Amino acid sequence: MVWISERFKTTAFDTGPSGLPEPDGSGGLLIYDVDVYARIYDAAGAPIADEFKVNSMANLCANPVVSVTPDDSFLVAWTGKPNQVTTSPPSDGWDIFGRMFGSDRSPKGSD
């Protein structure tokens, strides 16, 4: 069983999903992006390994889905858009990305 999720991370160098920094409660800026993470579980629901980052590109990622093959390899697909900071709406839309992994969690190519 493979579990996937979106995760927010916060640093001063990341951009937010809207492309704009967001103010926090103290007047500072909260800037974040979203990555896709996965974790593999056995049939009883016990984790087999630590979670790991799926996407390798610096894109905003959302809506991850997974498909597992009979040999326990798996494909994770998600929507993404380039990180950017702008004061107007981005002109480019969301794209579809995917990454194949072997049963040992090793990536079989890039996004």
Decide which of 81 and 102 is more confident.
102
pLDDT at 29: 46
Among 20-24, 39-43, 72-76, which stretch is predicted with the lowest mean pLDDT?
A: 20-24
Every domain of the chain and the residues it spans: 2-101
pLDDT classification of 31: cutoffs 50, 70, 90: very low
CA-based nearest residue to 51, from 63, 65, 36, 66: 36
Report the distance separating Cα 107 and Cα 100, nearest Å.
6
- Mean pLDDT across 28-56: 76
Percent of all residues in the chain with a pLDDT value above 90, rounded to a whole number: 11
Q: Is the pLDDT of residue 27 over 50?
A: yes
Report the distance separating Cα 111 and Cα 98, nearest Å.
5
